[in-house]
Amino acid sequence: MTKKESLPERLEATFLTSAPDLKRCPPGFGAEVAFAGRSNAGKSSVLNQISGNKRTAKVSKTPGRTQLLNFFDIRTGGRIVDLPGYGYAKAAKAAQKTWQKSVNHYLSYRNHLAGIILVMDIRHPNQAFDLEMLEWSTKSDIPIHVLLNKADKLSGGAQKQILQKIRSGYSDYPYATVQCFSAMRGLGKEELITKLLDLLATPIDGDELIADEEALIENGHEPVLEDLLEDQPSDLPADISEDLSQEKSQEKSQEKSENP
Ligand SMILES: Nc1nc2c(ncn2[C@@H]2O[C@H](COP(=O)(O)OP(=O)(O)OP(=O)(O)O)[C@@H](O)[C@H]2O)c(=O)[nH]1
Ligand SMILES: [Mg+2]
């Protein structure tokens, strides 16, 4: 995608299926790009912004909304997989373990994984889970693109400052690219769509889903990401702190199924 005029304004995305674990993921078909990140960072909102449809994925003010691996077909080719978030400490431990295991196994063993969009809240970047993802993707040669989401919460100057700081701190992660984004306002959309089209066009070697994850684990293929169940956000710098309770007070009730 070199010519700006040929860049689509949105990537049409159609919900395909939800899977509770790797075994129940659909057979792979083309490249998959996973949206990963802490709970409430805005993964599902990012997908809705780039698909131009607020209803593509379910969004909630309550962290922990996405609890299944949600697959979306992209009309121009490939799939996006909206993953459950990490680090929502208030969720029942057993439930957290179940869905975080499913994320770990998906990332560790899914053949079709071509890249990761790592969504962070720009006000709480580089949490333990984020750094682990960056390290793992670097070791595994999986391209990773970091979105500093909710940029609308900060001034343009503060956005630039944080972007620069994060970029210059990633010298150990040569595959990582970083941008500011706002799922609410669409800021950074062209850059993200360009990146996604590139990743979604990745040729995939070998086709089938690795069906037997247990066998892989027994053979010594440990999942790459481990327990980060209580990865709490660090304190906000005073100049960009804000009342997070406002987000909670706007909470709307959500339907039980994650997607229609
Ligand atoms: N101001 C602002 N709010 C955002 C933005 N992106 C997401 N949000 C809000 O953040 C909250 C969480 O968004 P989700 O998209 O559900 O987050 P998620 O990462 O999918 O969360 P889980 O499914 O729990 O992992 C919602 O209240 C969104 O409206 C953004 O760019 N700006
Ligand atoms: Mg979500």
What's the 3-state SS for 202-253? CCCCCCCCCCCHHHHHHCCCCCCCCCCCCCCCCCCCHHHCCCCHHHHHCCCC
Dihedral pair phi/psi, residue 15, rounded to 5° = -60, 130
Mean pLDDT across 193-216: 76
Going by alpha carbons, the residue nearest to atom 9 of ligand 1 is 42
Residue 238, beta-bridge partner list = none
- Say yes or no to pLDDT of 239 above 50: no
Over residues 85-121, the pLDDT tens digits come to 887 656 667 777 777 788 888 988 898 999 999 999 9
State which ligand 1 atom lies nearest to the alpha carbon of 247: 27
Q: In the chain, where are the structural domains located?
A: 4-233
CATH architecture for segment(s) 4-233: 3-Layer(aba) Sandwich (3.40)
What dihedral do alpha carbons 174, 22, 255, 48 form, nearest 10°?
30
Q: Give the rounded percent of residues in the chain with a pLDDT score beyond 70.
A: 74
Average pLDDT, the chain: 81
pLDDT for res 230: 46
- Say yes or no to pLDDT of 246 above 50: no
Over residues 147-170, the pLDDT tens digits come to 999 999 999 999 999 999 999 999
* 64 Cβ below 6 A of ligand 1: yes
Q: Give the side-chain half-sphere CA count within 13 A for 39.
A: 25
Residue 33, beta-bridge partner list = 80, 115
pTM of the model: 0.85
With beta carbons less than 8 A apart as the criterion, state whether 152 and 123 touch.
Answer: no
* 18, 39, 40, best to mutate for ligand 1 pocket (most atoms within 8 Å of CB): 40
Going by alpha carbons, the residue nearest to atom 32 of ligand 1 is 150
